[in-house]
Structure 1
Amino acid sequence: MRIQKGGIEMVKIGDGRYVIGFDDGYQLGKTANYIFDNGVHMLGSVEPTLKENSLFYEGEYFKVGEGRAAITEDKVSSDAAMLRTMAAIAMELGSAGIRRAEVVLAVGLPFSDYGRGKLGLADYYARHGSLAFSYEGDDYEVGIAKVVVCPQCYSAIAARLGNMKGDYLVVDIGSKTTDVVYVHDGLPIESRSITIEKAMVKWMKEIQREMKVQTGKDIPEDEVMKVALKEGSNLPGAHAELIRGMLRERMRSLELELAERGYSMDYLNIIYVGGGALIARDYAGRYRSHAAYDCDLCANAKGYEFLARQLVGKGAA
């Protein structure tokens, strides 16, 4: 699966380098302009029949963007993240007709992992400073001139912090974790910001198990997700309603945990960002009167580019 989000607008700084943000999620990869499945499959030395989603690197062919990869403890212990990143870079550059470029790569980590993980992630990408690869039949030569590592969730709202007066709770329900950033008068308060081990992939697995118990049926994860996102599903109406009820339970559980962790949910302005905002919008209810939903799945990737541009130079072309 690959989705293009509107027109392609790339960030180019004054020295000719391009800024490319890549949000390497545990379910989807997102750039500022593209969304794709995060699965990586090694094919070996034999050229694939179809060029779609195919990447050729160091003598091996891969399919990047077909299905979901298994959740791992980190992204730096294998080459899979690098292969996804090459595909992401090719999508962005290729859409602009660019095959050779120096790029500033902007990537992210969960908010609570940022301090201890940023050097390792930057080093992981810096080791691949010069890349020569083919994607969907086109050859690319890419130099990674600089790596900027950004905190997730914060990045999604970084460009609007100046307008956030008062107290806000920014919630990013991701695939593996939920990041929560507390903002006071436009300033993130790190001591009140957390990462919770509750997120979409875990919820999907739990719902699949509960559906098996209640219906005796093995419901595929993608069918559960179709119901969650109100997309077309072939599931019986009664099964879909059960899934919707389970999603409401999980949103209530997340809201309760936030309240138990000391957040005054009755009074705070709440902003849900990213893909999880779609679930929050449709299945949360108690705090709707003071909650907002930024449902742009590319919000973090765009935020990474915004922060990287601030860091490396103001001269955007």
Structure 2
Amino acid sequence: MKMMKENRFAKEETMVIGIDHGYGNIKTANTCFRTGVTRYDKEPRFQNNLLVYDEVYYQIGEEHKEFLAEKMLDEDYYILTLAAIARELYLAGIYSAKVHLAAGFPLTWVSEQKEAFRSYLLKNKTADFTFRGKQFHVEFAGADIFPRGFAAVADRLRMFKGINMLADIGNGTMNIMYINDCRPVEKKCYTEKYGTNQCILAVRESMLKQLGTVVDDLVIEQVIRTGKADIGEKYLRVVQESAEKYTAEIFRKLREHEYNPELMRLYVVGGGGCMIENFGKYDADRVTVINDICATAKGYEMLAARKLRKNGGM
């Protein structure tokens, strides 16, 4: 979260909050939680992550939300946005604030959907809600929508000398772009519906086919993140083998977009980076994995703040 003034004469500060609206996890500059919303008409028993808005109860982060190419089709991402704002404000000890949102979309979808998503985020001028028992009041000052992936490396473009490929591997999609001599190449941006969720589905199928059983997604995710889990060896081996096949397929898809490790460097961001590290076969001198899961949200904040300063304020 970055604090800015609308202009040099203003007394009140506006909070610039970057939110990475992932299909698997919602990330801010300082927090990360599962992309899940469960609605209740009555107050539920467990309230660790309870958000109350417009007299409706929402349990945040219990389950992953299904993949939706258009995030504006229901209210879930709006509710998740409120939860993300509350988490950032709570860390700063602030409960009433004017907020400028910074968010993003997959590279090839930005131009088509950014205005609709901005309108979706700003459909209410204010929002009053309770999260984790704390009352919040938010006044929305505006919103900017940026390309995801690029935002994660926007603060380190000087690293990208020569020819480089950037792969942002999320839960629902993999976004690919070229950054040549520190400049993004707009004509060489691609989006593949091949995120880590496809790996989880493949593990489920293999587990059922080979061992006739079902394993909880939390276990699969743990193996993806760390390469191991507290489960039997035969179950672990099935997960690892499926993850290795999935990771090999990632590199195949990159080659479809002319990836050649001898001619360019590869940079990987997003939650799928841990899969590359744990299960990929690659030259570590030519591939860089950026492990900061919040890098994209931080990049959104930086780009929004830079844009606002260039425009002379909010």
TM-score by length of 2: 0.93
Shift of 1:271: 0.8
Corresponding residue for residue 4 of structure 2: 13
Q: Which residue of 2 aligns with 1:6?
A: none
Distance 1:171 1:260 in 2: 13
* Equivalence for 2:231: 235
2:148 counterpart of 1:174: no
Residue type at the aligned position of 2:307 = L
Letter in 1 for 2:189: S
Deviations 1:15-73 (A, max 9, x none): 310110111111111111001111101111x3333431111111111111222122223
Pairing 1:63-212 to 2, within 5 Å after superposition: 63-212=59-208
Deviation at 1:128, TM superposition (A): 2.1
Provide closer, same or farther for how the CA distance between residues 233 and 264 of structure 1 changes in structure 2, counting only shifts above 3 A: closer
The whole-number CA distance in structure 2 between the counterparts of 1:137 and 1:48 is 13
What RMSD, in angstroms, separates the aligned Cα atoms of the two structures? 1.7
Structure 2 unaligned residues grouped into runs of 5+: 7-12
**Runs of 4+ deviating beyond 4 Å:** none
Displacement of 1:264: 2.2
Q: CA deviation at 1:219?
A: 1.7
Q: Deviations over 1:48-102 (max 9, x none)?
A: 3343111111111111122212222321011100100000000000111111111
2:33 to 28, 31, 36: 36
User: Unmatched 5+ residue regions in structure 1?
Assistant: 1-9
Aligned pair partner of 2:307 in 297, 311, 317: 311
For residues 64 and 248 of structure 2, the distance between their equivalents in structure 1, rounded to whole angstroms, comes to 27
Displacement, 1:232? Answer: 6.4
CA distance in 2 between partners of 1:210 and 1:51 (Å): 36
Instruction: Please tell me whether the aligned partners of residues 258 and 265 of structure 1 are also in contact (alpha carbons under 8 angstroms).
Output: no
How far apart are 1:280 and its partner, in Å?
0.9
Report the secondary structure of 1:313's partner residue. helix
Alignment of 1:258 onto 2:254: yes
For 1:251 and 1:115, the matched residues in 2 are separated by 29
TM-score using structure 1 length: 0.92
How far does residue 231 in structure 1 lie from its aligned partner after superposition?
7.0
Paired position in structure 2 for 1:5: none
Q: Quote the Cα distance in structure 2 between the aligned partners of 1:94 and 1:34.
A: 11
Whether the 8 Å contact between 1:14 and 1:313 is mirrored in structure 2 is no
Three-state SS of the structure 2 residue aligned to 1:192 is strand
Report SS of the residue matched to 1:198: coil
